Structure 1
Amino acid sequence: MQFFRHLKPVKAMTFDLDDTLYDNRPVILQVEAQMVQWLHATHPVSATRSFDWWRDIKRDLAKQDNWLPNDVTLWRFKQIEYGLGLLGYTSQQAKLAAEQAIEKVLSLRSDFTVPDQTHRVMRELAQQLPLIAITNGNVDVEKIGLADYFTLVLKAGPDGYAKPHGQLFDKAQQHLGLPAQHILHVGDHLISDVMGAKQSGLQACWFNDQQVDIYHSHRARLLPDVEITALPQLLTLID
């Protein structure tokens, strides 16, 4: 644990989910691989175009509608719908296929086990402080067993602009009814989490389990208030 500023008393915490409360990297790799297999098997015409072609569609859609990167589920839906339309599907066929694909994505997306250590830490924290989840992703906190720890779950897209935009941080602060400086946001991303929280007036705890040197990271914009390398260290901040 490393402190960069003197922490004000922590009366509530907000949490990033992906890569903070669990390692999301292998989950996403598996989801992407299984979705390619599913799409090719269910809609063989999709296999006639390369990964780069599909990636370019996603990028071009974001240029046409800059809201899409704020909602990863909608963005993927539009990518599949538009791509299959280009490959000859009618608008109705493409929409139905995209809906089925998203159903599959969301099922795979939340099909993993959260570490026991995370449950132990979150259970103890939730007994002492109100906790809120703030995520740019689309994991189902009910399915992965984290829902009971949070008084509120805020998701980019349905609930507002993606972090580091301040909208979700502001909603969390309003829900808690606490001064922002007494809320500690915990997250792994130096831009989305650390910079986003600090610019919204919250204190920021950087979860750095990858041994990144903040002074040599291209993502570093603002120093966090505190850096931790393991979740149990959070418990010492509320003693």
Structure 2
Amino acid sequence: MKYYRPVRPFKAISFDLDDTLYDNHPIIKKAESAIIEHLNNSYPELAQLTQKQWLLYKDLIAKEFPELQHDVSLWRIKTLTRVMTIYGIPQFKAVEYAKHAFSEFLKLRSDFTVPLESIQLLEKLAESYPVIAITNGNVDEFQIRLHDKFKFILKAGDGLKAKPHADLFIEAARRLNIEVSDILHVGDHLISDVYGAQNNGAQAVWFNPNQQSLNGARLLPTVEISHLDHLYKLL
């Protein structure tokens, strides 16, 4: 546990989800591979679609519609629709098929169990503070059984820009009837979580289980931890 600044009193704790409460990298890698296989097998027109081609189209859509990077679900649906039409599926069918394919992806990317240690931590912290989640991702909190572990979960999209923008932090403070500066945010990413929190007035706890360096950081966190249970020391 490493302190970079004195910890101010706080009134609520917010958590990032992916790669903070669970290791998301292998989950996403497996889901991305499985959804391509699903598309290959479900739609004859997409039988030859590869992972590399999918990523190229996804990047193309992001360049064409940069605002979609604030809504990863809509970004994926629009990419699916575009790919399907390019490969010869009529537009009216592609819109419907894309929604079905996205639902399948959401099931795949949410097909895991959150570590018991994370669940127990959330339950313990909730005895002393309102505990919320602020995420740029689109995991299905019901499928992974986190829906009842937070006062509420805020996801980027639907008019709320992704971290490190202020939107999610401001909305969280509004719902809690506190100031953004009253929030202690816990997350793994130096830009979206640490910079996002610190730059917008909240305090940031950097979860760094792999002992990564601070290279690329824009602002220092308040505290750095390598294990989530270090948070107990801040209570």
> Which amino acid is 1:68 matched to?
L
What SS does structure 1 have at the residue aligned with 2:148?
helix
The gaps in structure 2 that reach 5 residues or longer are none
> 1:229 is matched with which residue?
226
Aligned-pair distance for 1:53?
2.7
Structure 1 residue 159, shift from structure 2 partner: 5.4
Question: Does the CA-based 8 Å contact 2:36-2:50 persist in structure 1?
Answer: no
Once the two structures are TM-superposed, the CA of residue 223 in structure 1 deviates from its matched residue by 0.2
Residue correspondence of structure 1 range 167-178 to structure 2 within 5 A: 167-178=167-178
Structure 2 CA distance, aligned partners of 1:233 and 1:81? 44
Aligned letter for 1:237?
A: L
| DSSP-derived class of the 1:132 partner | strand
Three-state SS of the structure 1 residue aligned to 2:191 is: helix
Q: Contact 1:19–1:25 (CA<8 Å) still a contact in 2?
A: yes
CA distance in 1, matches of 2:14, 2:84: 39
Counterpart for residue 11 of structure 1: 11
Check conservation: 2:45, 2:89, Cα contact below 8 A: no
Percent identical among aligned pairs is 45
Change in CA separation of 1:231 and 1:159 when aligned onto 2, cut-off 3 Å: farther
Instruction: Flag structure 1 segments of 5+ consecutive residues without an equivalent.
Output: none
Measure, in 2, the Cα distance between the counterparts of 1:49 and 1:106: 19
The equivalent residue for 2:198 is 198
Alignment of 1:60 with 2:78, yes or no, is no
> Secondary structure of the equivalent of 2:205?
strand
Deviations along 1:94-133, whole A, 9 cap, x unmatched? 1121111011011112111000100111110011100111
Equivalent residues of 1:10, 1:237 under 8 A apart: no
Q: CA offset at residue 49 of structure 1?
A: 4.0
Q: Equivalent residue of 1:133, what SS?
A: strand
Contact 2:62–2:69 at 8 Å: present in 1 too? yes
For residues 212 and 113 of structure 2, what CA distance do their matches in structure 1 show? 25
> Are the aligned partners of 1:132 and 1:151 in contact in 2 as well (CA < 8 Å)?
yes
CA distance in 1, matches of 2:26, 2:139: 14
Instruction: Output the TM-score relative to the length of structure 2.
Output: 0.96
Residue 149 of structure 1 and its aligned partner are, at CA, apart by: 2.1
For 1:52 and 1:226, locate their aligned partners in 2 and report how far apart those are by CA, in whole Å.
Answer: 38
Shift of 1:10: 2.4
What is the CA–CA distance in structure 2 between the aligned matches of 1:210 and 1:82, rounded to whole Å?
38
**CA-atom RMSD in angstroms:** 1.2
Query: Which residue is equivalent to 1:104?
Result: 104
Q: Name the TM-score, length of structure 1 as normaliser.
A: 0.94
Q: Deviations over 1:118-161 (max 9, x none)?
A: 01111100111001110011011122121222111110113511
Contact 1:13 1:131 in 2 (8 A): yes
Q: Is the 8 A contact 1:8 1:181 kept in 2?
A: no
Residue aligned with 1:223, SS = coil
* Aligned-pair CA distance for 1:48: 2.7
SS at match of 2:194: helix
Residues 187-229 of structure 1: CA deviation (Å, up to 9, x unaligned):
0000000000111100000000111122xx23x1110000011
Mapped partners of 1:222, 1:7: distance in 2: 15
Shift of 1:162: 0.7
Aligned residues: 235
- Which residue number corresponds to residue 212 of structure 2? 212
